[in-house]
Amino acid sequence: MAGATVTVPSYGRRRRIKPTVPLSYLTALVILAITLVPMLFVILGGFRTTAQINSSPTGLPHPWVWSTASFWENLGNSAMIAVIATALAVGLGAMAAFALSRYDFRFREGWYLVFAIGLLFPANVASLPIYLLLKHINLLDNPLGVALPEAAFSLPFTIIILRPFMRAIPGELQDAAVVDGASRLTFFLRILLPLSRPALMTVSILAFVTSWNAYLLPFLVFTSEGHFTLPLGVATFQSTYSQNTASIFAFTALSMLPALAFFVLAQRRIVGGLSGLAGSVKG
């Protein structure tokens, strides 16, 4: 991978090679090493036993086998919670964004502001109060106790991104639908939502990744290991089996793979989503 990037650049027409060009490639190589080597170190480490790691060289993936049981359970829990949180945030957020973008009513901007202010509520700081609230309504040690607050905290950016998008869809489309006898809700479901697909994808990915990576709230809410999500599982595994380095390597390596695979597949969307979020925060 690295080798491909170091090839000397072809001469631009009428351009001299600037002295900074080799420097750029050297810097690029250093960056590549710093970001990729730690990940490769762990992934390759996952293929060796503790004894082998202590005495170095290579070996067969012995520990992969016995670390997988709780891994798959954690993976399933993470997926379930992330799907629920994403569906709720995007579903309810799209409904609210529709109301806030294409209906005229008094205090509309005020209602929008209520959601927008949520962007300034730091989720980690709110975690302990949320825990106490969940305790009150008996949702502790329950996947919904994590999924519902996560969905709620994803609503602000969902609405902030979706609203301008829905607003920009021309009113003539709505008028035409009305002339054809469609109700407003039909227009929403059959025309506006399909047209908003790029924005819906962006907010879905943001909500999903946020939930998938969350650590603090699951840490507070879950007590039984059967409910643990992947981040919680990785951290717990690390502290429980601190003597068995090889298993920790294997577990950590496994936990990196879904995120990296997802990233490679949805890379453009994730990057676009994040820059889009920053853009919409800007205005």
Among positions 32-51, residues that touch other proteins (CB under 8 A) are 32, 34-36, 38-39, 41-42, 45
117's tokens: 């202010």
CB of 172 to other proteins, least distance (A): 14
Q: Taking CB under 8 A as the criterion, which residues in 7-26 touch other proteins?
A: 7, 9, 24-25
* Residues across the chain: 283
Q: Closest Cα to residue 61, out of 42, 44, 39, 73?
A: 44
Decide: is 144 part of the binding site for other proteins (CB under 8 A): no
CB of 178 to other proteins, least distance (A): 5
The reply on whether position 143 binds other proteins by CB under 8 A is: no
* Residues 78-107 close enough to bind other proteins by CB under 8 A: 88, 92-93, 95-96, 98-100, 103-107
Stretch binding other proteins (CB under 8 A), from 65-73, 164-172, 194-202, 264-272: 264-272
User: Are 14 and 20 in contact, with CB atoms under 8 Å apart?
Assistant: no
In whole angstroms, the minimum distance from the beta carbon of 206 to other proteins comes to 12
Question: Taking the CB of residue 280, how many other CB atoms lie within 10 A of it?
Answer: 17
Tell me how far, at minimum, the Cβ of 252 lies from other proteins, in Å.
Answer: 5
Q: For other proteins, which residue of 66, 121, 198, 225 counts as binding (CB under 8 A)?
A: 121
Using CB under 8 A as the binding rule, the residues of this chain from 184 to 223 that contact other proteins are 184-185, 209, 212-213, 215-216, 220
**Which string of x and - marks every residue 224-263 that binds other proteins (by CB under 8 A)?**
------xxx-xx--x------x--xx--x--xx--xx-xx
Applying CB under 8 A, the site for other proteins has a residue count of 104
- Give the whole-angstrom CA distance, residue 192 versus residue 178: 13
Q: Is 113 in the site for other proteins (CB under 8 A)?
A: yes
Neighbours of 235 (CB within 10 A): 16
